[in-house]
Amino acid sequence: MIGNNKMIVNDFDTEDIFIIRKVNRGLTGSYSNKTEMMKLLHRTRSERTIEVEVTLISKEGLDRLRVILDSSETVQFIFEDEKEWYWNGTLSTNKLNSSYIGADITLEILVPDGVKHAVNPKGPFTATLDDEGRYFVEVNNEGTVDAPITLTATMNAENGYIGVYTDYAITEIGNKEEKDDEEYVDATTILNTTDFSEFTRYTGLNPENSSKANNGTASVIQRFGRNCFHLATAGNSGAVFNGASYLFDFPADETGHIGGKNVYCYFDAVFWAQLMGQTGQMQILFTDVNNKLVMGYDIYKYDEKGNSGYYSMYYGDGKGGVKTYRNDKFTTSHLNSDNPLNFPRGHMDIEKRGSKITYYWFGSYPSVTVPELADVEITKCYINMYQYKNNSGDKQISFFDFRNVRIRNDDALHLRDIKNRFQNKSSVKMTGADSKVYVDGMPKLSEKVRGSNLFTVPSGKTKIYFECSSWCATPPTYQIEFTEVSV
């Protein structure tokens, strides 16, 4: 216990060595002033010297005191009359070495920072939510000068950023722009259907030719044990081609984006006339978000006497127009040598890779490059089936059905979690006295953002606010401690 006329040096009581007659701390210590044109520009507190007048009454314990004072760092001095405060200082041992019992000595303690510090720190104070949903603590510094603060943030979930701010300063730790996940491209099958339930009936304008009427309906029927999406009713509009159109809208990827510049489609279709003179048409078309055609296939027959059909490979010109890359004739019979779309076969595909569009026909892959389409994204797929004129019944082609459509978006963006700099349960500490940062006890000064300047709180009451990454599932537990300082 500290008694009267005592001086404690790093927990070592000197009362058996000295009688303390007088302690002169000075009123405020000294200051360094910078002036210009008779004006004070800047003032900083500098070192101070505390003079302690003592009488040496014993040399017992002096060796231990000398060891303490020979430290290369400052030591703590506590005086009985201010036992709630300590001074960080250093003392020369020369006078102690040369003094004799009963000698009156004046000890000079050099205090580099010129201030005293409270023995008992304040806190920790744990942040709570205010009415605006901000985490904060209110501290009251009863010292006479700014007091360094110590922040501790304990993570309750992954986090990438800690912001500490007041009305006058801010300190940032980590990276405010750090994300919790990252995007990556992965080819994704967005459609693989044999029942065509993903398509919805469409009665608007045909993006390839607006004169084709879409007032009819289609349905799935069974043919030789397989689902076939078949024209059920052609409608009645008086157009040359009347029929049904069905639309598949590309779904959004994991980032919310819809569409892709690189799209592949496989479709299984049959186009087979069992009688001469049968007619009809089927299409698979791909458009952009504005319903402008990008690429497509058209397979049709308007030969009302023979067995000649045609295929057309379409592409968009990038300005809303439709171009035909290839148009050629084939025979719509059951023979493999005539018809790649007879019932046993029917395998077709079409692909866009940037500006290049590739089609399949009879074992070959013709392609066309359209620079205007390089950055155009496909967002929709149409499948259309039309009756030619009023040629229904036996005059309508027996088979013009879709059996399977598969679409792959090779530009689909996905999200994956990334390991963030501050893991759950980890602890981040910032010490205002030396403005250092520690993560789980390890020094991490690089985590402190350049320009940070909130390391102390002034005299009086101060509200300190806290912020974390916007995506952090559960904000950290924030705590503030500080040691009051006075002159």
pLDDT for the residue numbered 25? 86
Round to whole Å and give the CA distance between 37 and 52. Answer: 40
Beta bridge partners of 486: 116
- The Cα diameter of the chain in Å comes to 137
Is residue 199 a contact partner of residue 217, using CB atoms and an 8 Å limit? no
Residue 70 resides in a domain: yes
CA atoms within 13 A on the CB side of 398: 14
Residue 432 resides in a domain: yes
Domain that holds residue 156: 122-179+420-486
DSSP 164-233: EE-SS-EEEEE-TT--SEEEEE--EEEEEESS-TT-EEE-S--SS-TTSB---EEEEEEETTEEEEEEEE
Residues 332 and 443 in one domain: no
For the cut 70, the answer to whether the pLDDT of residue 125 exceeds it is yes
Residue 332 resides in a domain: yes
- Dump pLDDT digits (tens) for 39-89: 666 557 778 899 999 999 998 888 888 889 888 899 999 999 999 999 999
The domain boundary, picked from 64, 97, 117, lies at: 117
Residue 2 resides in a domain: no
Number of domains in the chain: 3
231: left (phi over 0), alpha (psi -120 to 50) or beta: beta
- Dump pLDDT digits (tens) for 194-206: 999 999 999 999 9
φ and ψ of 372, to 5 deg? -65, -20
Residues 56 and 162 in one domain: no
Round to whole Å and give the CA distance between 183 and 256. Answer: 11
Specify the residue for token string 């004072």.
69
Is residue 331 a contact partner of residue 323, using CB atoms and an 8 Å limit? no
pLDDT for the residue numbered 28? 62
Residue 382 resides in a domain: yes
Is residue 41 a contact partner of residue 63, using CB atoms and an 8 Å limit? no
Higher pLDDT, 478 or 35: 478
Mean pLDDT of 472-477: 97
Round to whole Å and give the CA distance between 235 and 221. Answer: 19
For the cut 70, the answer to whether the pLDDT of residue 11 exceeds it is yes
Residues 315 and 226 in one domain: yes
The domain boundary, picked from 381, 415, 449, lies at: 415
Round to whole Å and give the CA distance between 319 and 356. Answer: 16
Q: How confident is the model at residue 397 (pLDDT cuts 50, 70, 90)?
A: very high
Residue 102 resides in a domain: yes
Round to whole Å and give the CA distance between 57 and 104. Answer: 10
Least reliable range by pLDDT among 99-103, 246-250, 466-470: 99-103
Comparing C-alpha atoms, which of 439, 445, 484, 432 is closest to residue 166?
Answer: 432
Residues 404 and 431 in one domain: no
Residue 384 resides in a domain: yes
What is the domain-level CATH number for residue 81?
Answer: 2.40.30.200
For the cut 90, the answer to whether the pLDDT of residue 146 exceeds it is yes
For residue 200 the two structure tokens come to 């919805």
Round to whole Å and give the CA distance between 138 and 466. Answer: 12
Round to whole Å and give the CA distance between 192 and 185. Answer: 20
Residues 165 and 211 in one domain: no
The domain boundary, picked from 353, 387, 415, lies at: 415
CA atoms within 13 A on the CB side of 7: 24
Residues 424 and 307 in one domain: no
Is residue 220 a contact partner of residue 196, using CB atoms and an 8 Å limit? yes
Q: How confident is the model at residue 1 (pLDDT cuts 50, 70, 90)?
A: very low
Residues 213 and 319 in one domain: yes
What is the domain-level CATH number for residue 142?
Answer: 2.60.120.860
pLDDT for the residue numbered 30? 60
Is residue 414 a contact partner of residue 130, using CB atoms and an 8 Å limit? no
Mean pLDDT rounded to a whole number for the chain: 92
End-to-end CA distance of the chain, in Å?
25
pLDDT for the residue numbered 63? 86
Is the CA virtual torsion 224, 225, 231, 232 positive or negative? positive
For residue 422 the two structure tokens come to 């501050």
For the cut 80, the answer to whether the pLDDT of residue 5 exceeds it is no
Could you give the 3-state DSSP secondary structure of residue 235?
coil
For the cut 90, the answer to whether the pLDDT of residue 291 exceeds it is yes
- Dump pLDDT digits (tens) for 149-165: 999 999 999 999 999 99
Q: How confident is the model at residue 100 (pLDDT cuts 50, 70, 90)?
A: confident
Residue 93 resides in a domain: yes
Residues 128 and 190 in one domain: no
String of b and e for 360-371 (b: at least 16 CB within 10 Å)? bbeeeeeebebe
Q: What is the CA radius of gyration of the chain?
A: 43
pLDDT for the residue numbered 3? 42
pLDDT for the residue numbered 29? 59
Residue 456's CB is within 10 A of a number of other CB atoms, namely: 18
Is residue 206 a contact partner of residue 216, using CB atoms and an 8 Å limit? no
Residues 275 and 325 in one domain: yes
Residues 290 and 260 in one domain: yes
Least reliable range by pLDDT among 112-116, 203-207, 307-311, 465-469: 112-116
Residues 240 and 378 in one domain: yes
Mean pLDDT of 169-191: 94
Specify the residue for token string 């799209």.
263
Round to whole Å and give the CA distance between 87 and 430. Answer: 23
- Dump pLDDT digits (tens) for 437-451: 999 999 998 999 999
Beta bridge partners of 20: 54
The secondary element (H helix, E strand) that includes residue 95 is helix 94-98
pLDDT for the residue numbered 143? 95
Q: What angle do CA 87, 88, 91 make, to 5 degrees?
A: 100
Residues 456 and 361 in one domain: no
Q: Which residues contact 196 (CB under 8 A, 6 or more apart)?
A: 218, 220, 229, 246, 383, 402, 405
Beta bridge partners of 429: 152, 438
pLDDT for the residue numbered 2? 39
CA torsion, ordered 93, 95, 101, 107, to nearest 10 deg: -90
